[in-house]
A = this chain, B = another copy of it.
Amino acid sequence: MRISVLLAVALGGTALHAPPPERTLPPETERAATEIVKKALAGTKAAEIATSLTDRAGPRLAGSPGDEAAVAWGVETLRALHFANVRAEKAPVRVWKRRSESGEVVLPWPQPLALTALGGSVGTPEAGLEADVLEVSSLEDLDARAATARGKIVFFDSAMRKTTEMDGYGEAVGVRAHGASRAARSGALGVLIRSIGTDHDRFPHTGGVDYDAGTPKIPAAALAVPDAEMLTRLGRLGPVRVRFRLACGDEGMGESANVIGEFPGAGKPNEIVLLGGHLDSWDLGRGAVDDAAGCAAAIEGARLAAGASPRPARTIRVILFANEENGQGGAKAYAAAHAAELPAHVAALEADSGSGAPTGLSWLAGPSAEPELRALSDVLAPAGAARLEGNGSGGADVGVLRASGVPLFSVLQDMSHYFDVHHTANDTAMQLEPASLDRLSAAIAAFTYAAASAPEPFERIPESLRIEPKKR
């Protein structure tokens, strides 16, 4: 009895508290993934592919002629690289257009200002908007001084912190998204923000403004950092008055497309590993780091994984999303059109963090995925991506799959230079880091191979974590 009691206790303990049998990478998968990393580190076409997109389509805000050129580029490029089932799946997109913009200090003396309309901003009257400046340091500071904002142009002067990942951006971006409506509520006429960026160059950074429903929409623009600093200095001398003109605005709905191509799986072709980047860009630059780099790394990651031996069992699908920057129309259209197929999506990864060196893998899935991912980390180490971080969120576009429980991944990258050029005219092919893009492609490829070859799919995101991603 005693023995049987002890046995029962021991068995019960095992059943209740011991971890499930460790899942690690099958030796054959580990070997092939290791080879993939080695091959990618010897050089990929990622920088060449990214450059080609920027040369062919340049600025490509959803619904623009450049966006149309980008879709054509995507279809041609995936076909030329031997993807199967290449197609452009239409997506309705919000269209916003910048026509012209300018601004200047009026008092204490004339000075031109380098500024740009925030994406989605309404325009000013044609003669411009002229008013005294109320300088504030944050949304909270504005709220505290709301009584003095009426009739003013509110200037948010806070500087973005330079961090290795998204932390600095996360802290700073609220002002860009919500500053206009917050200021409008207090009767302000317009908003200028110090650019959400980490450079000291004379490039204003655009990016989406997020008007609250029911609050008057007022014009919102970003000042280049040197111009914001000057405005702050002038403010120390006395009252400052500025004028700016924005000719821009929404132009209703238009059409774009997600570009999709696949490498069908060898044994389980109906199961899908999804790799994405976004094809669109803001309109000022050529969208090299944001996000031709991600598109190219996804393409190269898929090619490297699909080309390895033994062939992966599952289908590797690359999607170059439409309209990430201004509404995620592409992601929403994909989720809607492929709703029936989402249970067969075993993993989704988006590359949208530039061309900086990879440092690790971020994940969001059921807890049983962890041991396998830990084993994969060792494989990713030669690419510099050995770190493993839970509680990830994928990327903005694949985030729409979270509600369906699709396991989400992203490669963590060194983003310390990313926000120097993010959403500026300076986002060109010269900002790409080719060797880091090879490493990024390596990490994506090895992950993809493992996800597409594992005997069992990763455990899906637990119900409790399938919340909607936060608005950006």
Q: Name the CB-closest residue of B to A65.
A: B110
Q: Is A329 an interface residue (CB 8 A)?
A: no
The one of B200, B233, B424 in contact with A51, judged by C-beta atoms closer than 8 angstroms, is B233
Q: In the complex, what residues of B have CB within 8 A of residue A65's CB?
A: 110
Within 8 A of B (CB), among A54-102: 54-56, 58-59, 65, 69
Q: Kindly provide the distance from the CB of A200 to the nearest chain B CB, expressed in whole angstroms.
A: 4
Q: Kindly provide the distance from the CB of A96 to the nearest chain B CB, expressed in whole angstroms.
A: 17
Q: Is A225 an interface residue (CB 8 A)?
A: yes
> A202-B203, A234-B55 are contacts. A430–B229 as well, Cβ < 8 Å?
yes
Q: Name the CB-closest residue of B to A424.
A: B202
Judge whether B430 and A226 touch: CB under 8 Å. Answer: yes
Q: Is A264 an interface residue (CB 8 A)?
A: no
Judge whether A426 and B201 touch: CB under 8 Å. Answer: yes
Q: Kindly provide the distance from the CB of A109 to the nearest chain B CB, expressed in whole angstroms.
A: 7
Judge whether A285 and B109 touch: CB under 8 Å. Answer: no
Q: Is A429 an interface residue (CB 8 A)?
A: yes
Q: Is A431 an interface residue (CB 8 A)?
A: yes
Q: Kindly provide the distance from the CB of A436 to the nearest chain B CB, expressed in whole angstroms.
A: 16
Judge whether A430 and B225 touch: CB under 8 Å. Answer: yes
Query: How many chain A residues touch the partner (CB < 8 A)?
Result: 33
Judge whether A202 and B55 touch: CB under 8 Å. Answer: no
Q: Is A114 an interface residue (CB 8 A)?
A: yes
Cα of A202 to Cα of B425 in the assembled complex, Å:
7
Q: In the complex, what residues of B have CB within 8 A of residue A425's CB?
A: 114, 202
Q: Name the CB-closest residue of B to A234.
A: B55
Q: Is A428 an interface residue (CB 8 A)?
A: yes
Q: Is A14 an interface residue (CB 8 A)?
A: no
Q: Is A215 an interface residue (CB 8 A)?
A: no
Q: Is A230 an interface residue (CB 8 A)?
A: yes
Judge whether A230 and B55 touch: CB under 8 Å. Answer: yes
Judge whether A226 and B428 touch: CB under 8 Å. Answer: yes
Question: Chain A, 429-448, contact with B by CB distance < 8 Å: what is the 0/1 string?
Answer: 11100000000000000000
Q: Is A371 an interface residue (CB 8 A)?
A: no
The one of B55, B56, B59, B202 in contact with A426, judged by C-beta atoms closer than 8 angstroms, is B202
Judge whether A233 and B55 touch: CB under 8 Å. Answer: yes
Question: Chain A, 410-432, contact with B by CB distance < 8 Å: what is the 0/1 string?
Answer: 00000000000000111011110
Q: Kindly provide the distance from the CB of A114 to the nearest chain B CB, expressed in whole angstroms.
A: 7
Q: Which of A230, A285, A429 is the most central at the interface, judged by chain B CB atoms within 10 Å of its CB? A: A230
Within 8 A of B (CB), among A100-125: 109-112, 114
Cα of A226 to Cα of B51 in the assembled complex, Å:
11
Judge whether A200 and B233 touch: CB under 8 Å. Answer: no
Q: In the complex, what residues of B have CB within 8 A of residue A230's CB?
A: 54-55, 428-429
Q: In the complex, what residues of B have CB within 8 A of residue A109's CB?
A: 56, 69
Q: In the complex, what residues of B have CB within 8 A of residue A227's CB?
A: 428
The one of B56, B111, B431 in contact with A58, judged by C-beta atoms closer than 8 angstroms, is B111
Cα of A428 to Cα of B112 in the assembled complex, Å:
12
Within 8 A of B (CB), among A247-290: 285-286
The one of B59, B69, B431 in contact with A112, judged by C-beta atoms closer than 8 angstroms, is B59
Question: What 4 new A-B contacts, CB under 8 Å, besides A58-B110, A65-B110?
Answer: A55-B230, A200-B430, A201-B201, A225-B430
5 interchain residue pairs of minimum CB distance = A226-B428, A200-B430, A202-B426, A226-B430, A58-B111
- Interface CB pairs A-B, < 8 A, 5: A58-B112, A65-B110, A201-B203, A202-B425, A229-B430
